[in-house]
Chain A
Amino acid sequence: MAGRTLFDKVWDPHVIEELGDGVQLLHVDRHLMNELSGHRGQLEIAQRGLKMRNPELAMGTLDHVVSTAPGRRGGPAPWAERMIEIFRVESARAGFPVHDFGDDGQGIVHVVGPELGFTLPGVLLVCGDSHTCTHGALGALAWGIGTSELTHVLATQAIVQQKPKTMRVRFEGTLARGVSAKDMILALIGRLGTAGGAGYAVEYAGEAITALDLEGRMTVCNLSIELGAKIGMVAPDEKTYAYVKGRRYAPKGDLWKPALAHWRGLPGDADARFDAEHAVDCAALAPQITWGTSPEDVIGVHEMIPDAKPEALAYMGLEAGRPIAGTKVDRVFIGSCTNARLSDLRAAAEVVRGHRAAAHVNAWVVPGSQRVKREAEAEGLDDAFRAAGFEWREPGCSMCVAANGDRVEPRARCVSTSNRNFVGRQGPQARTHLASPATAAAAAIAGEIADARAL
């Protein structure tokens, strides 16, 4: 018998019932909620006269619609305040905590879940947000769900799902200096395309993945959905267990040992087979940046803008055949569930120190959570950014999705550490270039797209 993959080992114990035709009813161990999708599901179950089945397996935080302005106390507008209030009231009624303003646990769901030890290796975790794949970095099985599925989870603590196929991507070799997790995953998406992972649960492996810290692994897993896959995972290892240990909701006392023993059995067997395999040579990798309106439209920062997708080039205001470096930028956004953790802010601050942002650039840093913000401030990162002319803001999704009114102006060009460069994503007619924190910081300093290593 062929060995079992990490995916199999996490998926199989969650099966409550076979529903036929490859469809299974699975147990949801962890339900992570935010105000935007969460309140909608809460209203739906209330309307159906149902109750939340297992509030003890849920937690909430505020991210999409909160203001990120310094000194903020709530949403940017009355509708946002109403949404937040519904979420607070319904969550309190159901009996699970919402990590509100002033709590370390307020921030982007995918930053906060792992940070609080809510996300653990081997759990099945869902959230009404497509970047739930991020949590796979700890060896969890995690994916994003829509409102109907969210309502289903609230009412039943279970989810109906077809088992996906499996893919393994090996990142071989060692990253060059100044090249990061974000560059690894962008390069992969460039190679396989945004539908390359469709229908698969992807496991990221290889020495370059093992070498990453947990935050870097989260960045890689975060963009699984941009690869077309709902699920991305990394096998847990000693770094993972050390990361989890001692966090607010992590197993403690008598529960730690059996949990750890269980987790150590999760990595796939050496002879496990995958439905598809790919490899990426990391030694040859340069910092990446997108030029179009899909995350697959990506090149090295020293490369030429390709002669492709004329509509995307027109939208982006770019000319084929010219180098992408040197393209003037108006805004820089360092934030989002992809790259707003402490290590990301450190990488950006390192580039920024001793420089000032170009006068025409409006650059923002939006920490992923209150905890990230507090820890960054303890290290003086906020001062480094402020001294360089960046704005230091409060945690939330902010300009990644422009749901809270933080937006890029029409036709303005923004280098963003987020995950989506879709038409209008950061605001109507906004032009987004996705890149790593170091590359984004370099763009702010140079006032144009630049290689951070040359600064």
Chain B
Amino acid sequence: MDKFAVLTAVAAPFPRDNVDTDSIIRIERCTGTPKEALGRYAFEMVRYLPDGADNPDFVLNQPRYRGAQILVCGEFFGTGSSREMAVWALAGMGIRCLIAPSFGQIFYGNCFQNGVLPITLPPATAAALMRQASDPAAGPFSVDLERQTVNGDIGFEIGARRRKMLLEGLDEIALTLAMDAKIADYQAADRERRPWIHFFRNP
């Protein structure tokens, strides 16, 4: 997984509340499209016109936001379905960081698994950043994960473990596999404690 340290990039405003993962990536794209190919389908219902051309009203199609790597979002971004393809699609179109007052819970966890940093900020702070992202005179944003700041002076919290995972590009499966002896010990004790959990299919 790519390491995440400091990101200086264009931030695009996406001021819609309750953006669900169905609208980030349609279900038809989750049934066989390779991970790497999902980027072009992100937000497809609003990103393209019926004839397939770019919809000029969609924020990321506007010249000044092309190549944006940061998305400033409304309340509860990523609500709904657990489909991780939503994060893959966002990452596939170049998004590395999301800023919102709140996130859908499963989506939020999925972000960390894919090197995408979701930053939760108080509504007023997020709204100020939304205005800044909409301001043609404003420059790129800078997100510093090491110091946990946006644009130098806005602090954010993500938890020490997740921060470390992103900073070092760690793989959670590898970390847990290294603890396999603990899992084995737990199960050995649990077979005594709760045998019905472990021996249910062959009584």
Contacts and interface: CB of A to CB of B under 8 A. Distances in A.
Given A151-B173, A195-B102, A420-B80, A401 B203 contact: no
Interface of A is mostly: loop
A249 B159 contact: no
Given A146-B84, A158-B183, A422-B80, A152 B176 contact: yes
Interface stretch (A66-74, A175-183, A333-341, A423-431): A423-431
Nearest to A150: B84
A25 interface: yes
B125 interface: no
A259 interface: yes
Contacts of A156: 173, 176-177, 180, 183
A130 B81 contact: yes
Interface string A128-162: 11100000000000011111110110011110101
A373 interface: no
* Residue of A29, A129, A422 with most partner-chain B CB within 10 A: A422
A162 B159 contact: yes
A403 interface: yes
- Among A16, A129, A146, A195, max chain B CB count under 10 A is at A146
Interface stretch (A208-216, A250-258, A268-276, A385-393): A250-258
Contacts of A357: none
Interface residues of A, number: 74
B126 to A, nearest CB: 13
Interface of chain B, main secondary structure: helix
B160 to A, nearest CB: 5
B18 interface: yes
A29 B76 CA distance: 30
A254 to B, nearest CB: 8
A403 B28 CA distance: 6
A228 B161 contact: no
Contacts of A54: 187
A102 interface: no
Contact of A130 (B45, B106, B193): B106
A57 B82 CA distance: 22
Interface residues of B, number: 53
Nearest to B20: A422
B113 A194 contact: no
A348 B201 CA distance: 35
B147 interface: no
Given A83-B31, A194-B79, A258-B195, A422 B22 contact: yes
Contacts of A48: 173
Contacts of A23: 159, 161
Nearest to A420: B80
B30 interface: yes
B67 interface: no
Contacts of A65: 31
B106 A249 contact: no
Nearest to B76: A195
Q: List the 8 closest pairs (A to B, CB-CB), nearest first.
A: A148-B113, A146-B84, A251-B196, A146-B110, A130-B82, A255-B196, A147-B84, A259-B196
Given A145-B109, A157-B187, 20 more contacts: A22-B159, A25-B182, A25-B183, A50-B173, A144-B106, A145-B106, A146-B110, A149-B113, A152-B172, A157-B183, A158-B176, A229-B105, A255-B200, A259-B196, A401-B81, A422-B22, A422-B23, A423-B20, A423-B22, A423-B23
Interface of B: 18, 20, 22-23, 26-28, 30-32, 45, 75-76, 79-85, 87, 102, 104-106, 109-110, 113-114, 159-161, 172-173, 176-177, 179-180, 182-183, 186-187, 190, 193-201, 203
20 contacts: A23-B159, A27-B187, A48-B173, A56-B201, A79-B32, A144-B106, A146-B87, A146-B106, A147-B85, A156-B177, A156-B183, A158-B176, A160-B176, A259-B196, A403-B27, A420-B20, A420-B22, A420-B80, A424-B26, A428-B45
